[in-house]
């Protein structure tokens, strides 16, 4: 499979040079509470030549409908917009203004829209060309005017890029709508690794070796992943290039080679290897640098996760009895225990801002997702229903994706970082585990 097509679908995003208001942050994501911005998204008008067949007319209709639906879903997902229903709009899509002089700002204010998105598109030379404008109906100004060019076979992909630009204009922060997910699924009867959009759409297989493939993790630049596989009979660590499909063995030490995580600079990988005593943490320095042993004790040390500055590792160890979360300072080699509750603590994940660590904790039964301050101390439970494992942060730190197991089957769930707005992510892949959220890809 030519994996590079996943990343080559959108090649261009051009500012049209139209009138634009001065930069203004409409929603402060750092505020203690966020008031959602009332947003109207008008249907995207088709401006190309008249369709010559019923089939072409339906394709045009579906293209516009898919983009509108995706925009609404993306921006609603963000939790910072209140999307107004289209049946409340006063103007018809065919009469909608696109130039600032044609905008009925008073009419939009009457239905409670503080901001308005207008768009139009055409299909030309096997390209989907979309022009989008964002208006402030209160100040009666244009906030954004941009053109997007993409693959007409993936209108939802183009819409994800549009959503990111709209989100960034309103919040001043990068959006996560073009990010990707890696996860393990047993839909074929084997544990294979899949790739999807952030919302579970456009699922594609990465592995198809009919073996056991585990723990996919992203490289910092988002072009590669590492994972453990038994496809050669032993748990070796592999490096897979998502763009080219090139696959190679990174670590094939005797015993286990598991839990690999790239360092933030991409130059090293923390992993667990078998030793004479018990499994310990090691650092694999890429480019022929060899291995460096990080821990040595009679406990089992697994699941390393890096601090964003690359100076520390959080990991799981049973050196004190039950499995708990510890932090290793790579400079001093000193360890500090962070978790003290629960009978089993697992799969730590460091937040992008470095202040918190998410992990799964069991208290004699099912697992739930918890947060602990990275320096220790305050711990907060985020989930209460089901059996919840394997948290992974979105690159902006606003969301956590995890696996929820119900009736023996794992599904993907996502929530805001404070535990609110929990919802299922549909991938159509069946029994799922080990999600990993990509870094920003653009």
CATH label of the domain that carries residue 70: 3.40.50.10070
pTM of the model: 0.92
- Looking at the fold, whether 140 and 195 belong to one and the same domain comes out as no
Query: 338 with 372: CB under 8 angstroms?
Result: yes
Once rounded to an integer, what is the mean pLDDT over residues 329-349?
96
Q: Is residue 291, in this structure, part of any structural domain at all?
A: yes
- Looking at the fold, whether 318 and 429 belong to one and the same domain comes out as yes
Q: Is residue 154, in this structure, part of any structural domain at all?
A: yes
Does the pLDDT of residue 6 top 80, yes or no?
no
pLDDT tens per residue, range 22-57: 456 677 777 767 789 999 999 999 988 888 789 989
**What's the chain's average pLDDT?**
92
* Residues 128, 62: Cα–Cα separation, whole Å: 13
* Residues 254, 222: Cα–Cα separation, whole Å: 29
* Residues 37, 142: Cα–Cα separation, whole Å: 16
Once rounded to an integer, what is the mean pLDDT over residues 117-126?
92
Q: Which of 116, 140, 171 is the last residue of a domain?
A: 171
Q: 92 falls in which pLDDT band (50, 70, 90)?
A: confident
Query: 299 with 278: CB under 8 angstroms?
Result: yes
Can you give the residue range of the structural domain that contains 97? 3-171
- Looking at the fold, whether 431 and 324 belong to one and the same domain comes out as yes
Q: Is residue 244, in this structure, part of any structural domain at all?
A: yes
- Looking at the fold, whether 214 and 337 belong to one and the same domain comes out as yes
Tell me the percentage of the chain whose pLDDT exceeds 70: 94
Q: Which of 112, 137, 171 is the last residue of a domain?
A: 171
- Looking at the fold, whether 58 and 154 belong to one and the same domain comes out as yes
Does the pLDDT of residue 340 top 50, yes or no?
yes
- Looking at the fold, whether 165 and 212 belong to one and the same domain comes out as no
Please identify which residue in the block is written with the tokens 């220790």.
376
Q: Is residue 70, in this structure, part of any structural domain at all?
A: yes
**DSSP code of residue 68:** H
Please identify which residue in the block is written with the tokens 């964003």.
308
Q: Is residue 442, in this structure, part of any structural domain at all?
A: no
Q: How much is the pLDDT for 78?
A: 96
Q: 16 falls in which pLDDT band (50, 70, 90)?
A: very low
- Looking at the fold, whether 124 and 157 belong to one and the same domain comes out as yes
Q: How much is the pLDDT for 33?
A: 72
Q: How much is the pLDDT for 247?
A: 97
- Looking at the fold, whether 195 and 142 belong to one and the same domain comes out as no
Q: How much is the pLDDT for 2?
A: 41
- HSE, CB side, 13 Å, CA atoms: give it for residue 76: 13
Residue, of 96 and 15, whose pLDDT is higher: 96
Q: How much is the pLDDT for 15?
A: 37
Does the pLDDT of residue 246 top 80, yes or no?
yes
Q: 348 falls in which pLDDT band (50, 70, 90)?
A: very high
Q: How far apart are the first and last CA of the chain?
A: 23
Does the pLDDT of residue 294 top 80, yes or no?
yes
Q: How much is the pLDDT for 32?
A: 67
Which CATH number does the domain housing residue 318 bear?
Answer: 2.120.10.30
Q: How much is the pLDDT for 428?
A: 86
Q: 90 falls in which pLDDT band (50, 70, 90)?
A: confident
- Looking at the fold, whether 107 and 228 belong to one and the same domain comes out as no
Q: How much is the pLDDT for 234?
A: 96
Please identify which residue in the block is written with the tokens 């056991």.
212
Once rounded to an integer, what is the mean pLDDT over residues 4-30?
49
Does the pLDDT of residue 402 top 70, yes or no?
yes
305, 364, 361, 296: which is closest to 333 by C-alpha? 296
Q: 71 falls in which pLDDT band (50, 70, 90)?
A: very high
Does the pLDDT of residue 7 top 90, yes or no?
no
- Looking at the fold, whether 167 and 212 belong to one and the same domain comes out as no
CA dihedral 192→196→202→208, nearest 10 degrees, is -20
- Looking at the fold, whether 130 and 48 belong to one and the same domain comes out as yes
Q: Is residue 68, in this structure, part of any structural domain at all?
A: yes
- Looking at the fold, whether 8 and 149 belong to one and the same domain comes out as yes
Once rounded to an integer, what is the mean pLDDT over residues 409-416?
97
Q: How much is the pLDDT for 413?
A: 98
For the chain, what is the domain count?
2
Q: How much is the pLDDT for 23?
A: 55
Q: Is residue 140, in this structure, part of any structural domain at all?
A: yes
Once rounded to an integer, what is the mean pLDDT over residues 310-333?
96
Q: Is residue 404, in this structure, part of any structural domain at all?
A: yes
Q: Which of 120, 150, 171 is the last residue of a domain?
A: 171
Does the pLDDT of residue 383 top 70, yes or no?
yes
pLDDT tens per residue, range 125-182: 889 999 999 999 999 999 999 999 999 999 999 999 999 999 999 999 999 999 999 9
């Amino acid at each position: 499979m030519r994996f590079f097509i996943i990343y080559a679908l959108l090649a261009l995003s051009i500012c049209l040079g139209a009138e634009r208001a001065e930069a203004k942050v409409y929603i402060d994501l750092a505020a203690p509470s966020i008031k959602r911005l009332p947003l109207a998204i008008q249907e995207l008008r088709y401006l190309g030549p008249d369709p010559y067949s019923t089939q072409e007319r339906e394709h045009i209709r579906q293209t516009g409908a898919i983009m509108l639906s995706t925009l609404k879903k993306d921006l609603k997902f963000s939790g910072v917009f209140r999307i107004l229903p289209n049946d409340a709009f006063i103007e018809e899509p065919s009469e909608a203004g696109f130039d600032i002089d044609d905008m009925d700002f008073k009419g939009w204010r009457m239905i409670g829209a503080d901001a308005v998105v207008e768009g139009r598109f055409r299909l030309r030379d096997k390209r989907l060309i979309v022009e989008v404008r964002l208006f402030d109906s209160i100040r009666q100004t244009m906030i954004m005017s941009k053109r997007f060019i993409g693959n007409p076979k993936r209108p939802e992909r183009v819409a994800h890029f549009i959503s990111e630009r709209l989100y960034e204009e309103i919040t001043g922060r990068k959006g996560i709508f073009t990010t990707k997910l890696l996860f393990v699924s047993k839909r074929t009867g084997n544990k294979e690794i899949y790739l999807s959009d952030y919302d579970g759409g456009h699922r594609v297989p990465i592995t198809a070796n009919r073996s056991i493939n585990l723990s996919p993790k992203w490289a910092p630049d988002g072009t590669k992943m590492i994972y453990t596989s038994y496809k050669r009979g032993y748990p070796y660590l592999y490096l897979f290039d998502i763009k080219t499909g090139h696959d190679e063995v990174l670590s094939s030490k005797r015993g286990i080679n598991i839990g690999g995580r790239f360092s933030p600079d991409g130059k090293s990988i923390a992993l667990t290897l078998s030793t004479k005593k018990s499994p310990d943490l090691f650092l694999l320095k890429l480019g022929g640098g060899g291995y460096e042993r990080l821990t040595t004790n009679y406990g089992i040390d697994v699941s390393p996760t890096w601090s964003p500055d690359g100076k520390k590792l959080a990991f799981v160890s049973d050196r004190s009895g039950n499995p708990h979360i510890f932090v290793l300072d790579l400079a001093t080699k000193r360890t500090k225990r962070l978790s003290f509750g629960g009978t089993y603590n697992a799969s730590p994940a460091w937040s992008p801002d470095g202040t918190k660590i998410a992990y799964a904790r069991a208290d004699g039964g099912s697992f739930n997702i918890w947060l602990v301050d990275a320096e220790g101390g305050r711990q907060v439970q985020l989930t209460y229903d089901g059996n919840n494992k394997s948290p992974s942060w979105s690159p902006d730190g606003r969301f956590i994706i995890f696996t929820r197991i119900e009736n023996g089957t794992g599904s993907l769930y996502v929530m805001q970082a404070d535990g609110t707005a929990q919802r299922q992510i549909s991938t159509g892949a069946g029994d799922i585990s080990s999600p990993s959220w990509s870094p920003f890809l653009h």
